[in-house]
Amino acid sequence: MQPDSLSQAYEDFKFGRFAEAEERCKSLLERNVDDTEANHLLGAILFQQGRSEEALAHLKRATATSRATAEMHNNLGAILYKLGRADEAMSAFERALALKPAFADALNNLAVIYLEKQKTDQAIEAFRKVVQLQPELLHAQANLRSAYHGIVPPWHFAMMDDRRRNEAYEAAIRRAATCLINSRMPSRRASGRDHDSRAE
């Protein structure tokens, strides 16, 4: 067997070989339990399989380091939201935006919580900014229309299965041989509080 690596784990994850991807990540974590990228990717793998509590533990570990990216905080927030912990999710999205103020996904996710909390004006303002940042995001446009009607959107989170994010994440993974990974978990949109498995 070739030496385990994050890029190999990602390849397994990308093609649905979750058991192999999980094994590779765990092997990396045996060498360094605080490996930011390995914890992040393992969280994605576990989440993909509906193991949200386990995924949460790894995302928390990933975001506890100075190398944590805005995408990691956003994904932590998405898992917290799925688990019904909206206030903690809001804090995670805010941390993501502190690192990356123009991060449309995190702003969209935060706006969803604003709307749930009946902070309609804040939700509309946030959704409008998302649409300005990325007009091509159809789910953000739908969310804005819903906000104007005071309706919590039936689906909204971007987390695990978006082609653009998959490609960006894969490109970053491939650069890991010579530099630090600016990793991004592929995104998946949610339905209510339950993230679909429509396979960043």
Mean per-residue pLDDT, 113-136: 87
179 vs 101, higher pLDDT = 101
Which CATH number belongs to the domain containing residue 177 in this structure? Answer: 1.25.40.10
**Residue 132: inside a domain, yes or no?**
yes
41 vs 162, higher pLDDT = 41
Average pLDDT score over the chain: 76
pLDDT recorded at residue 26:
94
**Residue 85: inside a domain, yes or no?**
yes
pLDDT recorded at residue 11:
87
**Residue 1: inside a domain, yes or no?**
no
**Residue 176: inside a domain, yes or no?**
yes
**Residue 160: inside a domain, yes or no?**
yes
**Residue 87: inside a domain, yes or no?**
yes
pLDDT recorded at residue 150:
65
Residue 191, strand partner residues? 155, 194
- Three state DSSP letters for 74-118: HHHHHHHHHCCCHHHHHHHHHHHHHHCCCCHHHHHHHHHHHHHCC
pLDDT-derived band at 7, boundaries 50, 70, 90: confident
Q: Which domain holds residue 105?
A: 6-192
pLDDT tens sequence across 35-58: 999 999 999 999 988 899 999 999
What's the domain count of the chain?
A: 1
144 vs 19, higher pLDDT = 19
- Phi, psi at residue 158, to the nearest 5°? -100, 120
CA distances from 192 to 112, 140, 146, 169 (A): 11, 15, 14, 26
pLDDT-derived band at 144, boundaries 50, 70, 90: confident
145 vs 172, higher pLDDT = 145
Q: Two tokens at 155? A: 């689906």
Mean per-residue pLDDT, 90-114: 93
Q: What percent of the chain has pLDDT over 70?
A: 72
**Residue 200: inside a domain, yes or no?**
no
Q: Two tokens at 117? A: 């909390």
Q: How far is CA 106 from the centre of its chain?
A: 9
Mean per-residue pLDDT, 106-121: 89
pLDDT above 70 (res 115): yes
What is the C-alpha to C-alpha distance for residues 93 and 130, in angstroms, rounded to an integer? 14
**Residue 124: inside a domain, yes or no?**
yes
What is the C-alpha to C-alpha distance for residues 149 and 142, in angstroms, rounded to an integer? 11
pLDDT above 60 (res 176): no
pLDDT recorded at residue 14:
86
